[in-house]
With several copies, the nearest count.
Chain A
């Protein structure tokens, strides 16, 4: 069956909502995605019929809940292309996954060691490394970007950015602002050549691209459930099995232990070593179903739809006088993902602030995000304080893009009239 967006939309109850007289055009999926009915239903069924704690409970409900939780892990592992299910650690979101990486990888860091990130990272892939460097005295270094919003690999090479002192390199796979798809394998090769560990923030990649973590070059990949049609309250860290086996624990508590003695404790093998306390059980059930839902649609088709809708949006949006897209406007597998950030000005050159744009768009049924999108250093690098972002997903229609463009023109003209 071919990819039928209207049919797919019927799976998402919220897409029927209206905002006043307008249909809802939800163009904020890079912020969080909507959920298909099957995902919601799976969690309801879990709570109504199978709820129990996992691992520790061995009665009927406990066995059902444990099996459901581990099935969630297996589905997610298969979806992201992991070699084994026990390479997937469940966390509460991508941010926790990145903090786990920073704490566990970073335990032995010392002054002189270097951690490398990029100026286009989300705050969740910046602050954990800043805190790590503050704790250990290591130095944080940054990839810069080129004017079209790609990583400036030439400058990095010239600066010897990745060198013998580099211990960790952490890079976003797909930018949540620019949509840039970064050359993970290439950077991973550089990192590995100097003995550094390669961490990848896959929060925007896993929902949009066919992800094969085992072949990506990465050692650790963070992702988050709510952006991939799954529930809130769950994310994950994939790690190469041999690396996970070596890493010390981060959060301590029930379930991550082997033997707890008053004199000290030993820890369970991965993934349990990194899952302290009662995990997000119903959420793992929901995320497993979300992964299956995406796999059934076919990630190649999802990605193709994302490219098509992004191309359409780029084309129509750029016809608007006063609208400037940030970063690259090339679409394609190596091109960009489905997030378009832009600035808007009136015909007489007054910048319309993203908040004002957002409020106007909202009043016309169009949900976008305005601000720095948790990427303030990137905005500073681009010389602006904020932008407006429209982001698309597997359920986005061309008609919603049209609604966006119309609302943008109206907004621009409203602010222009005031001149």
Chain B
């Protein structure tokens, strides 16, 4: 697989125009995740409404893969139940660790399937997972705060 093919149009589009970017109020939890080897950082907020993800807002610096992936993630999880969103996180993570050998499900992952090519570049897998991990962490915290 060529590097050109890995950088699908979808990824570059999301890089150029990040969806749901910027920090918004209110929020139930806020986390910072970092890829220490490269310095990519994301500050991410999650707001829940009952068990639905009402909003995800973020400020991120990093490569096109991490930025686009965060953008795609926000599209996918906003408006979904936390359970469904976390299931998507599972599915996306599994795809990224498949070394590109999994057949991703476009019905569930939508634009996320563009990252299947990235899964063939082990050095970049972490980039694609940064925003997703931050979301998982923040969602868990938001749930916990709610319950306590």
A and B touch in the complex (CB under 8 A): yes
Q: A356-B64, A360-B3 are in contact. Are A370 and B34 (CB under 8 A)?
A: no
For A370, give the chain B residue with the smallest CB separation. Answer: B38
Q: Are A376 and B16 in contact (CB under 8 A)?
A: no
Confirm or deny: B83 has a beta carbon within 8 angstroms of a beta carbon on chain A.
Answer: no
Please name all residues of chain A whose beta carbon is closer than 8 Å to the beta carbon of B9 when the two chains form the complex.
418
Contact for B122 among A55, A67, A379, CB less than 8 A: A67
Number of A-B contacts (CB under 8 A): 76
Confirm or deny: A414 has a beta carbon within 8 angstroms of a beta carbon on chain B.
Answer: yes
Contact for A58 among B2, B41, B124, CB less than 8 A: B124
Confirm or deny: B121 has a beta carbon within 8 angstroms of a beta carbon on chain A.
Answer: yes
Q: Are A353 and B63 in contact (CB under 8 A)?
A: yes
Contact for B37 among A56, A359, A362, A385, CB less than 8 A: A56
Cα separation A363 to B7 with both chains bound (whole Å) = 12
Please name all residues of chain B whose beta carbon is closer than 8 Å to the beta carbon of A419 when the two chains form the complex.
16
Q: A258-B34, A259-B34 are in contact. Are A356 and B39 (CB under 8 A)?
A: no
Q: What's the nearest-Cβ distance from chain A to residue B146, in Å?
A: 26
Confirm or deny: A63 has a beta carbon within 8 angstroms of a beta carbon on chain B.
Answer: yes
Confirm or deny: B144 has a beta carbon within 8 angstroms of a beta carbon on chain A.
Answer: no
Please name all residues of chain A whose beta carbon is closer than 8 Å to the beta carbon of B38 when the two chains form the complex.
58, 354-355, 370-372, 386
Q: Are A268 and B124 in contact (CB under 8 A)?
A: no
Q: Are B36 and A58 in contact (CB under 8 A)?
A: no
Confirm or deny: B127 has a beta carbon within 8 angstroms of a beta carbon on chain A.
Answer: yes
Confirm or deny: A62 has a beta carbon within 8 angstroms of a beta carbon on chain B.
Answer: yes
Q: What's the nearest-Cβ distance from chain A to residue B46, in Å?
A: 21
Please name all residues of chain B whose beta carbon is closer than 8 Å to the beta carbon of A350 when the two chains form the complex.
16
Confirm or deny: A142 has a beta carbon within 8 angstroms of a beta carbon on chain B.
Answer: no
Task: Mark interface residues in A249-290 (1 if CB within 8 Å of B CB, else 0).
Answer: 000000101110000000010001000000000000000000
Q: Are A258 and B36 in contact (CB under 8 A)?
A: yes
Interface residues of B in 82-108 (CB under 8 A from A): none
How many chain B residues sit at the interface, stated as a range, is 20 to 34
Cα separation A67 to B123 with both chains bound (whole Å) = 10
Q: Are B39 and A379 in contact (CB under 8 A)?
A: yes
Contact for B61 among A63, A67, A385, CB less than 8 A: A385
Confirm or deny: A415 has a beta carbon within 8 angstroms of a beta carbon on chain B.
Answer: yes
Cα separation A418 to B68 with both chains bound (whole Å) = 14
Cα separation A163 to B13 with both chains bound (whole Å) = 54
Q: Are A359 and B39 in contact (CB under 8 A)?
A: no
Interface residues of A in 341-356 (CB under 8 A from B): 350, 352-356
Please name all residues of chain B whose beta carbon is closer than 8 Å to the beta carbon of A258 when the two chains form the complex.
34, 36
Task: Mark interface residues in B118-132 (1 if CB within 8 Å of A CB, else 0).
Answer: 000111100100000
Confirm or deny: B142 has a beta carbon within 8 angstroms of a beta carbon on chain A.
Answer: no
Interface residues of A in 362-419 (CB under 8 A from B): 362-363, 370-372, 376, 379, 385-386, 414-415, 418-419
Contact for B65 among A66, A352, A355, CB less than 8 A: A355
Please name all residues of chain B whose beta carbon is closer than 8 Å to the beta carbon of A66 when the two chains form the complex.
123
Cα separation A157 to B70 with both chains bound (whole Å) = 45
Please name all residues of chain A whose beta carbon is closer than 8 Å to the beta carbon of B41 when the two chains form the complex.
259, 385
Interface residues of A in 66-98 (CB under 8 A from B): 66-67
Q: Are B63 and A354 in contact (CB under 8 A)?
A: yes
Q: Are A385 and B16 in contact (CB under 8 A)?
A: no
Q: A371-B39, A385-B41, A414-B7 are in contact. Are A353 and B16 (CB under 8 A)?
A: no
For A379, give the chain B residue with the smallest CB separation. Answer: B39
Q: List 7 A-B contacts (CB under 8 A).
A: A259-B41, A352-B64, A356-B64, A385-B62, A415-B12, A418-B7, A419-B16
B residues sitting closer than 8 Å to A (CB atoms) are: 2-4, 6-7, 9, 12-13, 16, 34, 36-41, 61-65, 67, 121-124, 127
